[in-house]
């Protein structure tokens, strides 16, 4: 089998997605997700201008070898653009291998290790009552776990608070929006949210919260301590993790479980976090860590250190990435929990897929490969539209992490 053609399709069925399609001489095709929110065209160019020419004529069954060639062969290793491009190739090759062997990718990864992939939904609202109403909506849909986010009194908008429906989308068309931030107001709000949640929702539901990289280690330690009585499943991205040692300070002070990793793109971004047991869940995701090949390596390292997986699963990655996460989550022993934000009907129409949701779980289905297709005619009806994540500033105007 040989790769005879490949292309990148960029489309915007409600939001932008970049998809790599690799075609073989036997007429099969594999799909990879190349989406990097707000930098879609950079990954598309990396693939079209620099990677696709290298793939033509190559044997797509040699996934491990091609991965290392793309990673080491460029000399310039790592970074979100490079690793998203390599990740798209890797996913397309796993998809092709499954199709060539007429078996779902989870079978190639060791086979099903559980009934399904337990997921959490995003419940949010402008205030505590609205967030808890949204959480009840998820429980009615069968979810066992929900992430709770709510507005911060005194701030116009904050991360994680959408438009009150199932479809949260932080990227906005045009130039980036400016949002504002107050750590003090935020730290007052979160414990009130979770006290009310346990009071009104009870203790059966698993609860999570995403700090979105906005605290320092000592602030995160204080937040973690203040949430201990509410039994969170995890506190996410408590601090930016470029400094992995920063998590030592958080860990020393709180038993609230910690999760991080959605912006990581290499195993070296998390090896200290894992080997020092500074976290409980590693949230790297197939498309951004460089594909299923390195994701498996991270998971196997994590298993030794009692760290479970919790792949990032936002709607700003396509159904191709979600399917890859579902196959991985079904098969890997130390799977923890999967983020699941529902894609819009327009997105689902462009990416018909075999995975299904029922009773709080995703199942990848048993279609060969990843089980996702790309309807190119439907995609062509939704051309790329520039859109960016917001920029965040403290009340005095200083730029802060968004
Ligand atoms: O803000 O994927 O846990 N989920 C998240 C996401 C991220 C977006 C950024 O593109 O933090 O909502
Ligand atoms: Co997050």
Residues 340-373 have pLDDT tens digits of: 999 999 999 999 999 999 999 999 999 999 999 9
Q: Is residue 194 part of a domain?
A: yes
75 shares its domain with 135: no
172 shares its domain with 98: no
58 shares its domain with 167: no
Contacts of 368 (CB under 8 A, 6+ apart): 98, 99, 101, 102, 103, 104
Nearest ligand, CA 122: 1
Q: Whose CA is nearest to atom 2 of ligand 1?
A: 314
* DSSP 3-state percent helix, strand, coil across the chain (nearest 5): 40, 20, 40
Selection from 257, 123, 131, 121 nearest residue 192 by Cα: 131
78 shares its domain with 126: no
Report how far residue 207's alpha carbon sits from residue 230's, in angstroms, rounded to the nearest whole number: 9
77 shares its domain with 175: no
Angle at the Cα of 389 from the Cα atoms of 50 and 128, rounded to 5 degrees? 145
| Residue from 46, 159, 340, 355 carrying the catalytic annotation | 159
Q: Last residue of some domain: 71, 104, 137? A: 104
Q: Is residue 300 part of a domain?
A: yes
Q: Is residue 293 part of a domain?
A: yes
88 shares its domain with 153: no
Selection from 380, 291, 339 nearest residue 17 by Cα: 380
Give per-residue pLDDT as tens, 87-109.
999 999 999 999 999 999 999 99
Q: The domain spanning residue 16 has which CATH number?
A: 3.30.390.10
Specify the pTM.
0.98
Report how far residue 13's alpha carbon sits from residue 285's, in angstroms, rounded to the nearest whole number: 22
Tell me if 173 sits within 8 A of 362, measured CB to CB. no
213 shares its domain with 336: yes
Q: Is residue 402 part of a domain?
A: no
Q: Is residue 396 part of a domain?
A: no
Q: Last residue of some domain: 70, 104, 138? A: 104
- Domain count within the chain: 2
Q: Is the CB of 40 under 6 A from ligand 1?
A: no
What pLDDT was estimated at residue 168?
79
What pLDDT was estimated at residue 162?
79
Q: Is 340 considered catalytic here?
A: no
Q: Is residue 48 part of a domain?
A: yes
234 shares its domain with 310: yes
What pLDDT was estimated at residue 222?
98
Contacts of 68 (CB under 8 A, 6+ apart): none
Q: Last residue of some domain: 47, 69, 104? A: 104
Tell me if 237 sits within 8 A of 265, measured CB to CB. no
- For the chain, list residues with pLDDT below 50: none
Q: Is residue 214 part of a domain?
A: yes
| Residue from 29, 212, 312, 343 carrying the catalytic annotation | 212
303 shares its domain with 332: yes
Q: Is the CB of 13 under 6 A from ligand 1?
A: no
What pLDDT was estimated at residue 165?
62
- Render the burial of 363-381: b for 16+ CB within 10 Å, e for the rest: bbbebbbbbbbbeeebbee
95 shares its domain with 146: no
96 shares its domain with 115: no
Atom of ligand 1 nearest to the CA of 38: 10
186 shares its domain with 270: yes
Residue range(s) defining the domain that contains residue 321? 108-368
Q: Is residue 388 part of a domain?
A: no
| Through-space distance between the first and last CA atoms of the chain, rounded to whole angstroms | 45
């Amino acid at each position: 089998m040989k790769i005879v053609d490949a292309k990148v399709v960029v489309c915007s069925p409600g939001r932008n997605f970049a998809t790599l399609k690799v075609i073989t001489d036997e007429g099969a095709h594999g799909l990879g997700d190349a989406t990097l929110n707000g930098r879609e065209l950079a990954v598309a160019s990396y693939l079209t201008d620099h990677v696709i020419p290298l793939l033509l004529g190559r044997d797509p069954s040699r996934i491990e070898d091609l991965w290392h060639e793309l990673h080491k062969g460029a000399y310039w290793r790592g970074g979100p653009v490079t690793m998203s491009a390599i990740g798209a190739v890797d996913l397309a090759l796993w998809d092709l291998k499954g199709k060539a062997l007429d078996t779902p990718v989870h079978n190639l990864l060791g086979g099903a290790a559980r009934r399904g992939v337990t997921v959490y939904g995003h419940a949010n609202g402008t205030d505590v009552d609205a967030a808890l109403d949204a959480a009840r909506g998820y429980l009615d849909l069968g979810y066992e776990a929900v992430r709770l986010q709510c507005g911060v009194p005194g701030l116009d908008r904050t991360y994680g608070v959408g438009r009150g429906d199932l479809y949260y989308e932080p990227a906005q068309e045009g130039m980036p929006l400016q949002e504002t931030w107050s750590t003090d107001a935020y730290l007052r709000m979160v414990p009130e949210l979770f006290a009310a949640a346990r009071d009104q929702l009870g203790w059966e539901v698993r609860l999570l919260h995403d700090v979105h990289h906005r605290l320092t280690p000592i602030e995160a330690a204080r937040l973690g301590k203040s949430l201990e009585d509410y039994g969170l499943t995890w506190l996410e991205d408590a601090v930016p993790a470029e400094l992995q040692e920063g998590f030592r300070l958080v860990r020393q002070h709180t038993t609230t479980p910690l999760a991080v990793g959605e912006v990581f793109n290499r195993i070296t971004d998390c090896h200290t976090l894992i080997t020092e047991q500074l976290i409980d869940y590693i949230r790297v995701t197939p498309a951004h860590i460089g594909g299923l090949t390195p994701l498996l390596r991270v998971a196997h390292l994590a298993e030794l250190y009692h760290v479970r997986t919790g792949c990032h699963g936002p709607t700003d990655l396509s159904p191709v990435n979600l399917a890859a996460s579902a196959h991985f989550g079904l098969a890997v022993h130390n799977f923890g929990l999967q983020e699941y934000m529902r894609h819009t009907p327009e997105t689902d129409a462009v990416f018909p897929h075999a995975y299904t949701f029922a009773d709080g779980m995703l199942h990848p289905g048993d279609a060969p490969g990843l089980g996702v297709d790309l309807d190119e005619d439907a995609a062509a009806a939704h051309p790329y539209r520039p859109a960016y994540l917001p920029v965040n500033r403290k009340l005095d105007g200083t730029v802060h992490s968004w």
